[in-house]
Structure 1
């Protein structure tokens, strides 16, 4: 009861005379925190609602992030929260239960009450749906990874396994050939490479293993091999292509439009992050499958600037109306 009373008091401090906060951000990953930092520095009343389950939480390190190469992604988020809080951004742990647009106000329901806000920014990320292969989930972010630019350098010259999950896996194998001349392409249940794909794999010395991948060999905490139809192939790491599932239920519940392509069904946003729903914006992996940490940080800053400009336009219009 005391905790909830304190949260209500904090909410009141982050609202104007009409009980409105400026921006509610759902999701406290790199995109959401970057936007929160910029909006906090712009003296906006900002509340971040976050469940504390970032996409890359299983990875010990992140790479290719300028100035933070090798840093734990959880440390980056911890620092980001502290920086944003220093500019008055409020943080609530938990999930949004529902949201609705009521005229020019958006109401956001949480376990501790409803927040009324002028703008809603959704930065809820995506979920990696891994192949249903024993060991993959336990090794995710360590022995099983997805991004060559994040983990390729650490496995340069290793035996790199690529477990196929779609026809695009052939291109993943070709890309990883940049880091090692010992790449093993596991056809898995996707089917045998043929025609031009087979010719291109063979031409670069990529070894092809047929058969269904049935598991991983684990020694202690370390993945050392891939099991295929009863035999084990030694590898130093496995790259694969999970199915990317955006966590966009909140956006869809609000009626946001989406577009279906060969990469899935993704909610539409313009270059500034606006959705088709007035007052509702989105940024990061929830609407952009290519948004790694660096891209998400940049997009969070960009969208925050556009969102603040949108609020300024409202402020000007309200002042003129009152004059």
Structure 2
């Protein structure tokens, strides 16, 4: 196991696409960088990553392994561990791990991602990432032409149902405990999407496959796949000591860490964020791109700080 050093230029918290690409940019700029990763990637239940140029269909674990190898090839470090707290300020942050290890860094890049919170419906969690999906671009092709049920969870339900209708003519929305507006219902009806009223009691399955949706009144609606918009919660509790706490995302999809869209800079000097922890809708490709951009911005920030310090030292 790689040992955690006493200090680095940058510590990256989270070893997914955003974190590894950010670390790659920093390591290639000859910065000392450590990626600290808890080993709980959001896309672990999925069989493959989709919509990623030149890596279509790659298993998530394989993609992460390749990314780690690339970071290490430029001198970056990948450390297994869970960050418990971050304290300090720009040029002197302290990162404490859950097992008691500590290290210091001049800058922090937060790429810890989100946790998907599923509705409390029996059967959903067991099928998550297989028969239960959330993104038509990530997994829609894999459930094309099947009988798809969309479980209403909030303001994105109609939008989600219309996107999945592009992939299958047999889409049903289960209103469950979410309210659908008249305009939304009109759009759904116009394209042939039926809305089934009533509470969903369970997702039925047999031999590892979804067979239908059981309503509270006992009715079984045959379905082969379920689409559900999860509530996404940023993995960012360790930032509380810096005064950086997750807030509700404007879309209503969950809570995130706000950051500048083009740079990843947060409201706390010296701390950047990239990937789903700030951009909840980002797929693997955009998350990786955002991580790379944040890495470049962090390096530039340190270059300018070092130059200013050198000028001050001459005067």
TM range (shorter): over 0.9
**Any conservation in 2 of the 1:257–1:275 contact (CA below 8 Å)?**
no
Structure number with higher relative contact order (C-alpha < 8 Å, ≥ 6 residues apart): 2
- TM-score normalised according to structure 1 size: 0.90
- SS of residue in 1 equivalent to 2:279: coil
Match of 1:85 in 2: 72
Please state how far the C-alpha of 1:234 moved relative to its aligned partner: 1.8
For residues 287-306 of structure 1, give each alpha carbon's deviation from its aligned partner in whole angstroms, at most 9, with x where no partner exists.
Answer: 11111111101101111111
Tell me, yes or no, if structure 1 residue 312 matches structure 2 residue 303. yes
Instruction: Supply the distance in 1 between the matched residues of 2:310 and 2:181 (Cα, whole angstroms).
Output: 67
- TM-score normalised according to structure 2 size: 0.92
Please state how far the C-alpha of 1:23 moved relative to its aligned partner: 0.3
Moved more, 246-255 or 21-30: 246-255
Match of 2:173 in 1: 185
Alignment map for 1:126-165 (pairs within 5 Å): 126-165=114-153
Match of 2:258 in 1: 268
- SS of residue in 1 equivalent to 2:86: strand
Match of 1:254 in 2: 242
**Any conservation in 1 of the 2:49–2:60 contact (CA below 8 Å)?**
yes
Count of residues in correspondence between the two structures: 309
**Any conservation in 1 of the 2:176–2:197 contact (CA below 8 Å)?**
yes
Q: 1:213 aligns with which of 179, 200, 206?
A: 200
Instruction: Supply the distance in 1 between the matched residues of 2:10 and 2:59 (Cα, whole angstroms).
Output: 28
Alignment map for 1:36-47 (pairs within 5 Å): 36-47=23-34
| Aligned CA distance change for structure 1 residues 22 and 152 (closer, same or farther; 3 Å) | same
Instruction: Supply the distance in 2 between the matched residues of 1:29 and 1:103 (Cα, whole angstroms).
Output: 24
Q: Any stretches of 5+ residues in structure 1 without a counterpart?
A: 13-19
Match of 2:108 in 1: 120
- SS of residue in 2 equivalent to 1:24: strand
Please state how far the C-alpha of 1:160 moved relative to its aligned partner: 1.2
**Any conservation in 2 of the 1:256–1:268 contact (CA below 8 Å)?**
no
For residues 78-120 of structure 1, give each alpha carbon's deviation from its aligned partner in whole angstroms, at most 9, with x where no partner exists.
Answer: 1100111111111211111222115631111123532111101
Instruction: Supply the distance in 2 between the matched residues of 1:259 and 1:245 (Cα, whole angstroms).
Output: 10
Q: 2:53 aligns with which of 66, 84, 103?
A: 66
Moved more, 76-85 or 169-178: 169-178
Give the superposed CA RMSD: 1.8
Instruction: Supply the distance in 2 between the matched residues of 1:168 and 1:262 (Cα, whole angstroms).
Output: 8
Tell me, yes or no, if structure 1 residue 228 matches structure 2 residue 215. yes
